[in-house]
Amino acid sequence: MSMTIAPPSLDALARQIQTAQDATRQIEPFTSQLDGFDVPAAYAVAQLVHEARLREGARAIGRKIGFTNPDMWSLYGVRDPVWAHVYDRTVVRVAGGRHVCRLAPFTEPKIEPEIVLHFHRAPPAGADAAALLDCIDWVAHAFEIVQSHFPGWKFRAADTVADAALHGALLVGEPQPVARLQPGLRSALAAFSLELVCDGAVREVGVGANVLGSPLAALAHLAGVLSRQPQALPLQAGELVTTGTLTTAQPVRAGQTWHTVLRGIDLPGLAVEFVD
C-alpha cells in the first residue's frame, strides 16, 4: 500500500533530490528520512523532478530500466524492475567506438554495459518479445554511467526511483539496423556474451540472459510496469530504451580505460576513458 504524503512534502522531496543531482552531492536516503516512503511515492517524486527538467529545457528521448536481475529484488525490496526517463542532455552518441568521459558531474559513479533498443513505432499493448522486435529499427551496445546521491550506495528501491533510477549518462555506440542483424537476432540477444575489461584485465563476463532472460524480455516487462502506472506514458515511437546491466555495476575512477568485447551478436564493443 502506498504511503500518504501531502503534496507539499512531495514537492520538498523533489526539490531535495534535484538539488543533490545538480550540485553533485549526497543526501540521506528518503527511506531513512520518512517512515513508509515507498515505490509509488518515489515515482510521484520522480515525476515532479521530470516535469522540472522539461521546464528547464531538457528533452526526454527514452527510458532506462534498473533492477533487471531478479536476484537483487529481495535485497532492495522490489517486485519489478524500476525505470526512469533519459534525456538529450544525458545521452551521448559515441562515434568510432571510443569516448572520453569526465567524472566530475557524478557521485560515486559506476559503469554498466547494456543493450539499447530503439522504437520506430509504438509497441501494441501486451506485445510479446517477437512483437516488440517488429517495432524496433536499431540495436546498440552502450555503457550506462550510474551514480548514487545516497552515500555508500546504501538505499532501498524507493530511493533509487526518486533518484532517476541512478541514471547519470548513457554512452550509446553505433546503432546497428535490425534488418542487418537478422535472422536470429531474437535468440542472439539472449545468448550473446560480453567481456567487461578494465585496463587490460577482464573484470566480469555477462550474457544477454542476465537481464530477465533477454533485453527483449526486459523491454516487455517494462511495458507491463508502465501499463500499471496511470501517470506514465506508454512507450512511444522514436524512444530508445536501455535494458539493464549485463554484469554487476563496477566502480570507476579517473585514469581508467574500460572496454567491452561482445561475442555471439554482431555489435561492436565500446571503450571509455575516464578523466577528472
Task: Say which residues have a Cβ less than 8 Å from residue 47's Cβ, sequence separation at least 6.
Answer: 231
Residues 100 and 103: their CA atoms lie apart, in Å, by: 10
Q: Contact at 8 Å (CB) between 114 and 244?
A: yes
Q: Contact at 8 Å (CB) between 261 and 132?
A: no
Q: Contact at 8 Å (CB) between 170 and 64?
A: yes
Q: Containing H/E element for 204?
A: strand 201-207
Question: Cis (ω within 30 of 0) for the bond into 183?
Answer: yes
Give me the residue spans of the domains in the chain.
Answer: 7-275
Q: Which three cell numbers stand for residue 2?
A: 502506498
- 3-class SS shares of the chain: helix, strand, coil, % to 5: 35, 30, 40
Q: Contact at 8 Å (CB) between 57 and 182?
A: no
Q: Contact at 8 Å (CB) between 84 and 164?
A: yes
- Position 69 scores a pLDDT of 76
Residues 226 and 173: their CA atoms lie apart, in Å, by: 26
Q: What is the pTM of this model?
A: 0.95
Q: How deeply is 200 buried, as exposed, middle or buried, from its count of CB atoms within 10 A (0-12, 13-18, 19+)? A: exposed
Q: How many CB atoms lie within 10 A of CB 146?
A: 25
Q: If you write DSSP's letter for every residue of 127-187 in order, what string do you get?
A: --HHHHHHTEEEEEEEEEEE--SSGGG---HHHHHHTGGGEEEEEE---EEHHHH-SSHHH
* CA angle 175–179–183, rounded 5-degree value: 120
C-alpha 231 chain-centroid distance: 19
**How confident is the prediction along the chain (276 residues), in pLDDT tens digits per residue?**
445 555 558 999 999 999 999 999 999 999 999 988 999 999 999 999 999 999 999 999 999 999 887 766 776 667 778 999 999 999 999 999 999 999 999 999 999 999 999 999 999 988 998 999 999 999 999 999 999 999 999 999 999 999 999 999 999 999 999 999 999 999 999 999 999 999 999 999 999 999 999 999 999 999 999 999 998 999 999 999 999 999 999 999 999 999 999 999 999 999 999 999
Q: Could you tell me the fold of the domain covering 7-275? A: Fumarylacetoacetate hydrolase; domain 2 (3.90.850)
- Position 66 scores a pLDDT of 94
